[in-house]
Amino acid sequence: MATKREQREQTSAALRTTARRLFAEHGYAHVGLETIAQAAGVTKGALYHHFSSKAVLFRHVLADVQNEVGEQVQRVAEAQPDCWSYLVEGCRAFLDASTHPDIQRIMLIDGPAVLGWNDWRALDEQSSARLLTEALTTLIAAGTIPPQPVEPLARLLSGAVNEAALWLAQSGNTATDRDATIAALTRMLDSLRE
């Protein structure tokens, strides 16, 4: 028999999973708390017990999505034979993950709109941007990239990759657009090498 804490955690997870599915299918603006509660099989009061508002619930869903993307990127990057491939394949993995419609809707379209740019960036910083900073630090220390301050370079690359992902989300997500974006990203990254 589940303890009260386990029941709370299960209910919270069920609400986040249900909300994620509904936000991905319909978009944040078109999903009400009543719909989420009914789909999760709980009362609206139970939903409010776990999440004080739809925006708070969305923030948790977005954090889950960004963490998943960060873990995907990290798995791909860590499977690479060297630091350079770690960076290049990690960036590609981010773009690949970003082409999934539910990721696009929640992380790239609704995320900045619902939370605002600063809060969205803070969540991004905790997942993908942190990995990028670590990779660049390693590459500079190894002499693969000329010595330079890491923070501005990480911000520039993160902005470029995020903007490319946002563009792919709006472009119709064709294979041609994805391939062209990957090719442009690869050329941009190659220009960093000494």
Q: What is the pLDDT of residue 160?
A: 92
Q: What is the pLDDT of residue 120?
A: 87
Q: pLDDT tens digit string along 117-141?
A: 889 888 887 777 788 899 999 999 9
CB-count burial class (<10 Å; 0-12, 13-18, 19+) for 174: exposed
Contact between 168 and 178 (Cβ < 8 Å): yes
Closest CA to 164 of 105, 112, 103, 96: 96
Name the residue with tokens 């090719």.
183
Helix (H, G, I), strand (E, B) or coil at 85: helix
CB-count burial class (<10 Å; 0-12, 13-18, 19+) for 61: buried
pTM assigned to the model: 0.87
Closest CA to 106 of 17, 176, 10: 17
Give me the tens of pLDDT residue by residue for the chain, a chain 194 residues long.
678 888 888 899 999 999 999 999 999 999 999 999 999 999 999 999 999 999 999 999 999 999 899 899 999 999 999 999 999 999 999 998 888 889 989 998 899 999 998 898 888 877 777 888 999 999 999 999 999 999 999 989 988 998 898 888 778 767 889 899 999 999 999 999 86
Alpha-carbon span 37 to 33, nearest angstrom: 6
Q: What is the pLDDT of residue 128?
A: 74
Q: What is the pLDDT of residue 169?
A: 78
Alpha-carbon span 132 to 187, nearest angstrom: 17
Q: What is the pLDDT of residue 116?
A: 92
Contact between 24 and 30 (Cβ < 8 Å): no
Closest CA to 133 of 114, 157, 115: 157
Closest CA to 151 of 162, 165, 137, 161: 137
Q: pLDDT tens digit string along 77-103?
A: 999 999 999 999 999 999 988 888 899
Contact between 136 and 145 (Cβ < 8 Å): yes
Name the residue with tokens 């989300």.
169
Computed from CA positions of residues 28, 155, 97, 73, in that sequence, does the dihedral angle turn out positive or negative? negative
